[in-house]
Amino acid sequence: MKALLLLADGFEECEALITADVLMRAGTEVVLAAVKSETEVVGSHGITVKANELVSNVNMAQFDVLVLPGGGEGTEALAASYRVKELIEAAVNEGKYIAAICAAPSVLGRMGLLDGRNIACYPGFEKYMPAANVTGAKVETDDIFITGEGMGVTLQFALRITELLYGADTAEKIAEQIRMEK
């Protein structure tokens, strides 16, 4: 399995890196792609991460899941990127999982992709998804869309992606390995 995780300046570091870590523990090849013209991306708390690739060089056909971490400024950069929208549309057309956490579901919401769907998002971002059903769950799955409420549920979010890609047994083994409290 292969995951494409998009990083734009202002991304929420924990949401991106914990998700990448959990997916890698499951055996996923994770590609961190910078949504800019250079590979160094600065998170919302000033932590610089070096991406593996530029978003301009990736093809969604090579991936099984697309991951959008939150962070206010990072989410705005994702939403403003034509290339990000192309990748999201390709993932939808190919029936691939799209996982978005915190503010990032708003990117999908602005595209009308969450209309009528059960979702989770950071409080206040519902305004970008008026036709979605914010259920109050910490992590929500509806068809190919996996959404999470915020940084505090990143492990649950990442384990849900793992479960969908590899099955419940693999997700449970990783939860045990990392000593996740149930």
Residue 142 has pLDDT above 70, yes or no: yes
Mean pLDDT computed over every residue of the chain = 97
> pLDDT tens-digit profile of 69-84?
999 999 999 999 999 9
Q: Residue ranges per domain, the chain?
A: 2-177
Tokens of 165: 């890609």
CA 8 to CA 60: how far, in whole Å?
Answer: 17
Predicted structure pTM score: 0.98
Q: What is the pLDDT of residue 94?
A: 98
2-177 maps to CATH 3.40.50.880: yes
The residue whose two tokens read 């390709």 is: 90
Q: Which residues are catalytic?
A: 102
